[in-house]
Amino acid sequence: MKTGLRHGVCALALLGGLVAAGAANAEVARARDLGIPFSGITGELNAITDVPGIEVGQVTLIEGEGELVVGTGPVRTGVTVVHPRGRDSTEGVFAGWFTLNASGEMTGTTWLEERGIIDGPVAITNTHSVGVVRDAAVEWMVQKGWSADWHAPVVAETYDGGLNDINGFHVTRTHALEAMSAARTGPVAEGAVGGGTGMVCNGFKGGIGNASRRFTAGEQEYTLGVLVQCNYNWDGDDLRLGGRRVDHLLPVGEHCFTDHSIERHNDWYPYCGDAGARSVSMSSRDGSIIVIIATDAPLLPHQLARVAKRPSLALGRLGAISTAGSGDIFVAFSTANAGRVDESNHAEVSVFPNYALTTVFTAAVQATEEAIVNAMTAAETVIGAAGFRVEEMPEDEVRAVFRRSGD
């Protein structure tokens, strides 16, 4: 069982038997609680919401069990939303983005690259729900009075079709709008919540994770926060934690189908207790990760594009290689220069010194690494479509690994 405190603001509703929840206050540990070492100085909550003004909302959809019936379930999915300046703001932020490997989708990035600004919320969901969440974000912006004549919000995805009835299209406009409305500052729920409900990461159940770092430039202190939706390296090959290879020390990749009487909906993994090999149709390291980086340092778009490359190094520190079938897409924005991100008038903006960008790069790598591991330590075992089971990271075994390494 998980121990400690699950961080998160909760949006809870019952929708035709479908529970939509951002699950707050369950007892779970974060990565540091298990003795895993990380570098850098965290913010107060070690969360993306340590960056002033950031609000996060999540809706989690869980319904049904047993046989996969497309359109009915089982459902293990959701939506996670980040408001860069809070849900009531109608001002954009300077931003940049980067794709490490492009087997995935993040809408709005053509316009983002052209103008260097994100308007509206940034959302993450499953692969086949990008369109409906994107449309809901446009509706949100129209209702809130964003001034542009047209909108191209940023919505990203990872694939949850192992655990979820992904072709049932269970995420609706209403769910996305609920996540946007539920967004708050404060602790953020992690693990199998929101868009991360059906995700698998580094050989264990994955999902949503976040972390933060404080850094200085001259005499000024800033904060950088990261939120990830982690769904890569399903088998956990070459997994490294705290700089140490641990895939041979932990039971990584032991996913299986729990009920022999139910036909498997894929041949990637065997029935529990069987020795059947997986199909070569799926690389054991395939999958995806979305990384959202926020900072209150006054970075301009070209600087943020450089920051958005740095999660690549955090993935490498954890043993990832970014496979041909992986969708590893990162976006970074700055909440600084409030009131001055104006495309209609001249405006004087604060500019972060280029010589000090290394401090930002360092914070981004450190926070991304910890956010990914927080997603893994927070998530609990999930049984989903056709009885497919993905195990949680075993806390006691992780603690034992790092007790031994500290001897």
Residue positions annotated with a catalytic role: 288, 326, 328
How crowded is the C-beta side of 89, counted as CA atoms within 13 Å? 21
Q: Across-strand partners of 76?
A: 62
Terminal-to-terminal C-alpha distance of the chain: 26
**Interior CA angle at 326 toward 321 and 329, to 5°?**
95
Tokens in use for 386? 């056709």
Are 51 and 360 spatial neighbours (Cβ–Cβ below 8 Å)? no
Q: Are strands 388-390 and 256-257 parallel, antiparallel or unpaired?
A: antiparallel
Coil/strand/helix, residue 191: strand
H or E, element range at 302:
helix 301-307
3-class state of residue 314 by DSSP:
helix
CA distance 21 to 271: 30
Nearest Cα residue to 208 out of 326, 62, 60, 312: 60
Spatial contact of 401 and 84, defined as CB atoms under 8 Å apart: no
Phi/psi at 150 (5° precision): -145, 160
Q: Residue 101: count other Cβ atoms within 10 Å of its Cβ.
A: 18
Helix locations, 149-297, DSSP H: 173-182
Distance CA 194, CA 173 (A): 14
Tokens 């003004």 label which residue?
Answer: 53
